[in-house]
Amino acid sequence: MATIFTRIAAGEIPSYKVAENEDYYAFLDINPLAKGHTLVIPKKVEDDYIFNLDPAVYEGLWQFARKVAVALKAAVPCKRVGVAVLGMEVPHTHIHLVPLQTEADLDFRKEHPVFTPEQQAETAAAILAEYEKL
Ligand code: AMP
């Protein structure tokens, strides 16, 4: 199943990449809840519902997300990196990682902050640099 996120992971559609390995990819959300809001995906997806994933793919996704969250927290100072799994919009399993200052930063209904493409590129580069140190 080719989704917009499959095409992002393949480099066919541009994204602000923050981390990658053979099977998984992480990039900035296009409509972030906070600076550094990241989406973590399996490059190939058999199902759009995370709890239907093959157990090995599921485990690998969370292992990768943990590493990305460590890099994210190092690059974007925050109290915690919050986690959400929704999938109401894009039918390709993904984990949201959101740097939190307050609980309200994980409210998808709030007004979203706006960042310029330059700011998004700078944030992604900072997270990638931290990821590469791990
Ligand atoms: P959901 O499927 O409900 O978890 O929401 C999908 C998320 O993907 C939303 O936060 C969108 O802002 C984000 N999104 C949709 N298209 C893109 C894209 N091309 N690049 C980055 N993020 C995207």
Ligand 1-lining residues (CB < 6 angstroms): 4, 15, 29-31, 39, 86-90, 94
Angle of CA points 60, 19, 129, to nearest 5°: 135
Global confidence as pTM: 0.98
DSSP state of 33: S
Tell me the per-residue pLDDT of 8-42, one tens digit each, with 9 for 90 and over.
999 999 999 999 999 999 999 999 999 999 999 99
Tell me the per-residue pLDDT of 44-92, one tens digit each, with 9 for 90 and over.
987 899 999 999 999 999 999 999 999 999 999 999 999 999 999 999 9
All structural domains of the chain with their residue ranges? 4-103+114-133
Contact status, residue 83 vs residue 37, Cβ threshold 8 Å: no
CATH code, residues 4-103+114-133: 3.30.428.10
Cα 75 to ligand 1 centre (Å): 21
Residue nearest to atom 12 of ligand 1 (CA): 31
Which of 45, 90, 123 maximizes ligand 1 atoms within 8 Å of its Cβ, making it the mutation to test the pocket? 90
Alpha-carbon span 99 to 97, nearest angstrom = 7
